Structure formats: structure tokens, C-alpha cells
Structure 1
Amino acid sequence: MSGKAGPSGDASHGHPLWEGPATIFSWLSVVPLRGARVFDTTTGRRAMTCVPLVGCAFGGLAALVSMLGSLASPVLAGVLAVVVVQLASRLMHLDGLADVGDALGSYAPPERAREILADRYTGALGSGAVVLTLLCQVAGLAGVAEAAGRPAVLALAVCSVYVLSRWAAMVVCRRSSSPTRRPFSATGFGALIIATVPRWRLAAWAGGFLAVSTGSWCALGAPAMAVASAVIVLVVWLSAEATVRHMARRFGGLNGDCTGALIEMTAAIAAVAYALSLPLLAA
């Protein structure tokens, strides 16, 4: 991720309505867009404000392959959804999840934990974190595919999982008065994005998601799922906040790996939450 965020020699920002979306897609996906030409916290704020758009695109892609896979089995639907999203994101968030797993699992003091976080080798704890998180994602999405019943229900639930997981990345990057919710390095990808996103933008995306999802579930004849979606947003937000606070305390700050790890963890949480809700509440 950080390799795509190097300066290109042009010191002028583009229009925010183009620069933000183009930059975040160039950073977090295989889409060959040219984003920002200068990289600073303004670039980071614009890009991370648009990160749920990546979730929308990945959600649509995952929903399509889930519908195809569900023709054979729910498990295949879950596997295909996870695989296609990981390929579309170049598996970059798994690297962050593995690094964070190793660093948190070490129970080392902040300075040593940051050294483990920067180590390019993955240990048993990091590998375990990746495997368990992906298993939860696959199982959750398979449960969604099995319980959905209708293609539209399946598509809405799968899209919601990926939008919420990318929205959660904004939680890592929101502005905060806490001295630990800052980038612990003055260089690198984390220095561009951490503590750049205003709280109102985070809230605006959450409100927009709730409005769209509530209307969509009601239109599908499942008003109880509209309420469940609101609860799932709350669960994802609280889980993300708790995880970010824990990482910030243990590392003495945050970096780009923390963002990637949270994306994968909240995708698993959201997938499991929808899998548990649909059999009980969907029409």
C-alpha cells in the first residue's frame, strides 16, 4: 500500500471530487487509476473520506460471485466472495492483519511491538490471525448465502458487509484528542492517513448507509432487517473503536497496518452478524 503512495514530482492537488476517489482506488484496489500527484495529510484525508466507495465496488463484485456460487452451494458462494475481494485488493490487508496479530500477540512493550509490526516476516500468531479471520468471513458469507433465499437479499447483505468493513477504516483515521491515536512514525503510509478524517464525515457515511440500507430492506419486505442493520452498524463501530484503542495503547500510536487489520476483522464481524440475523429476521 505504501509503495503506491510515493510522490510523483507534481506538487499540486487535483480537484477533491476526483482526487479522493481516484487515490483511494489506486491505493486499495487493482484498478489502474491515477490518483493524487502529491502526498500529504490533505491527500490522506480526501482518500480516506472516500474509502467506503471501495467497499461499494467490492461489495457489488462479491455479491455477483456469491449469487453465481450459491447455485452450487452456500460454502462455494462464501469462498468465491472472499477470494475475489482479496484478489481485487491485492491481499494487502492480510499483510497488515498478520503484522498486527504478531505484534499484539507478543505482549511486548510499545517500542518492541512496533519493531515486530515492522518485521517483514510473519510468525505463527500473525498466520493464525489471518486464517481465523478468513474462516469467519467465509463462514459468515456462506451463512448469508444459505439464509438469503432471494438474490436481492443476498446482494444487499453482501454489499453491506464490505461497505461497513471499509467504513470502519475511517475509525482508525478519524481525528482524536487522544495522544496515542496518532501515527507513531512521521514517515510512511500511516503518516498520510492517521488522524486526518473529521468525525462528521464518519457520521455522514454511517447515516447514509443506514438510510440506504433501511429503505432497501423495507422495499424487500424485511423491516426487521432494517433494524438489524442499524444494530450491526453499532456493533461494527463499537468493535472498531475498542480495537483501535487497544492497538493505539499497545503500540503507542497507529500505522497503516492497523487500518488493514481492522478492515479484515470488521468484515468478519459484519459477515457473521448478517449470517446470524437473516435466518431470524428476513422475510
Structure 2
Amino acid sequence: MTPVVRDAVDGARMAVGTLTAIPVRVVRVDRVVAGWAMALAPLVAVLLGGLCAVVLAAALTVGLDPLLASVLAVGALAVLTRGLHLDGLADVADGLGSGRPPEGALAVMRRSDIGPFGVVALVMTVLVQVLALASVVESGALTAALALGTGLLSGRLTITWACVRGVPAARSEGLGSFVAGSVAPWAATLVSAAVVAGCLLARPGFVPALLLGLVAAAVLLCHTRRRLGGITGDVLGALTETATTTALLVTAASLS
């Protein structure tokens, strides 16, 4: 196994181990591996999308209502990711909503409790995801599975771009500081091209949803950089949920 292939394999393991609850033996963790892990984050979306699609299809097959089936699929996603991204979304909402300067906002985000801004962000996000997915189910289970996969790809591709060189970390410790700036721009561009190409092959009409999810996350990233000074692990989670939710919403709107 060549060094590059070994780095890529170790990065894929780290990506699965970091971004999901799936047990994976991570044998090596360093900046090179972290760069590969964040670049390969969209592969995790494919894995999660496949598993959640199975849950959705099984629920529909046994005759459950599309809304209930969507609840189970979104719930399965939360379980498979340990609620990591949802937790980050809540923390970022509380930090930004506090109106404090960067140090104070980051201190709020480090707390284990969830404040009112976090609760509202979580409720609204999960509701939109469930209702949007349920709306898409009316166009068919396969369409819904592809829509969910598109949303997950948008969310994980956002992680890749948030970790490109030039995007600083908001603090000197934590996941954000470890992965910030670890992805080369050429790698992010190559992965993005692969994701878009895959979407074009699977369902061309979903590409706008993928891209608009990235745009929504980019707006949030610009805001968090201005308010907090850079990214944290919580910011990555918030970006992921923002992109995923936006992509699902756009898909539902386009099919309604």
C-alpha cells in the first residue's frame, strides 16, 4: 500500500469514526489524516443516506404514513451521527444569540446545557427536515431517498469546504482547531466535482438543491467567522445541518 493510499484509508476511517456512531478502528490521527477525513466527508453522506433510506423504505413498506416514516428516517440519522451535528447547531445558535463578543459567545457554546435559541433552532430544523422529506415521499420512495442523500451530501461537502486552507479556527483547542485548514483547495474542488457529477447521474434536478444548501451554509460560515473568528466543531455541525435542511427544503419546494 502506497503512502497516499494509506493516508486516504486512514482518513476514511477517521471520517466515519468522527462523523458517525458507526464503530470503526481508527489507527492513526494526525493533520494529514484529518485533511483526508474532512475531504472524504461526502463519502460518509453516502453511507448515512443508504442506511436512512433503508429505514424509510422499510417504514413505507409496512404501511406507515409518510410523515411517520420520515420521522423514523430523520431519527435514525440523529442516532447514526450521535446527534453530533444537531448539538453543534444548538450550541452555535445559543452562542450567536447571546450577543456576546467572541470569547463570551464561545464560552456559551462550551456549556453542556441548551438555551432558548438552541431549542428553537433544533425544533425548527428537525421539523423542516421531517416535513420536507414527508412531502418528497409523495413523489416516491426512491425520489425521497435520493433527496435525503442529496441533503446529506450537501451537508458533508460543507464540512470539506469549511476546513480548506485559509479558514481559521476560532480557538486553539478542540476538533475545529485540529481540522481547520487541513484540506487543500484542489482536494475540495475535486471532491465537489465528483459530488456534482454523481448528482447529475442520479437525479440532475436535485443539483440546485445541493448547491443552494452549500450557499446557505456559506452564509452562516461567513457570519460565524465574523462573530467568532473562525470555525469550531460546533460550527461544523451547524453548517452541516443548515446545508442539509436547506437542500431538503428546496427539493420539497421544487416537487410540490
* Structure 1 residue 65 displacement after superposition: 1.5
Of residues 152, 158, 170, the one that matches 2:148 is 158
Q: Does 1:118 align with 2:110?
A: yes
Say whether the 8 Å CA contact 2:133–2:144 is kept in structure 1: no
Q: Does 1:33 align with 2:10?
A: no
- Match of 1:174, SS state, is coil
- Match of 1:108, SS state, is coil
Say whether the 8 Å CA contact 2:8–2:33 is kept in structure 1: no
Question: Compared with structure 1, are the counterparts of its residues 94 and 155 closer, same or farther at alpha carbon in structure 2 (3 Å cutoff)?
Answer: closer
Q: Does 1:15 align with 2:6?
A: yes
Q: What is the identity, as a one-letter code, of the residue corresponding to 1:213?
A: C
Q: Does 1:247 align with 2:238?
A: no
Q: Distance in 2 between matches of 1:18 and 1:43?
A: 9
* Structure 1 residue 113 displacement after superposition: 1.0
Q: Does 1:87 align with 2:82?
A: no
Question: Gaps (5+ residues) in structure 1?
Answer: 1-11, 218-225
- Match of 2:100, SS state, is coil
Q: Does 1:269 align with 2:255?
A: no
Number of the residue aligned with 1:212: 198
Q: Distance in 1 between matches of 2:68 and 2:157?
A: 26
Q: What is the identity, as a one-letter code, of the residue corresponding to 1:64?
A: V
Within 5 A, what are the aligned runs for 1:1-283? 15-37=6-28, 39-70=29-60, 71-146=63-138, 148-149=139-140, 151-176=141-166, 181-217=167-203, 226=204, 228-279=205-256
1:7-38 deviation per Cα after TM superposition (whole angstroms, max 9, x unaligned) = xxxxx99911310111111112122111243x
Q: Distance in 2 between matches of 1:201 and 1:77?
A: 37
- Match of 1:15, SS state, is helix
Say whether the 8 Å CA contact 1:14–1:36 is kept in structure 2: no
* Structure 1 residue 246 displacement after superposition: 0.3
- If the length of structure 2 is used for normalisation, what is the TM-score? 0.92
1:148-170 deviation per Cα after TM superposition (whole angstroms, max 9, x unaligned) = 23x33232222212122111111
Q: Distance in 1 between matches of 2:31 and 2:154?
A: 23
Q: What is the identity, as a one-letter code, of the residue corresponding to 2:196?
A: L
* Structure 1 residue 197 displacement after superposition: 1.3
* Structure 1 residue 202 displacement after superposition: 2.1
Q: What is the identity, as a one-letter code, of the residue corresponding to 1:26?
A: G
Say whether the 8 Å CA contact 1:106–1:113 is kept in structure 2: yes
Identity of aligned residues (%): 32
- Count how many residue pairs are aligned between Structure 1 and Structure 2: 252
1:51-77 deviation per Cα after TM superposition (whole angstroms, max 9, x unaligned) = 111110111111122222333221012
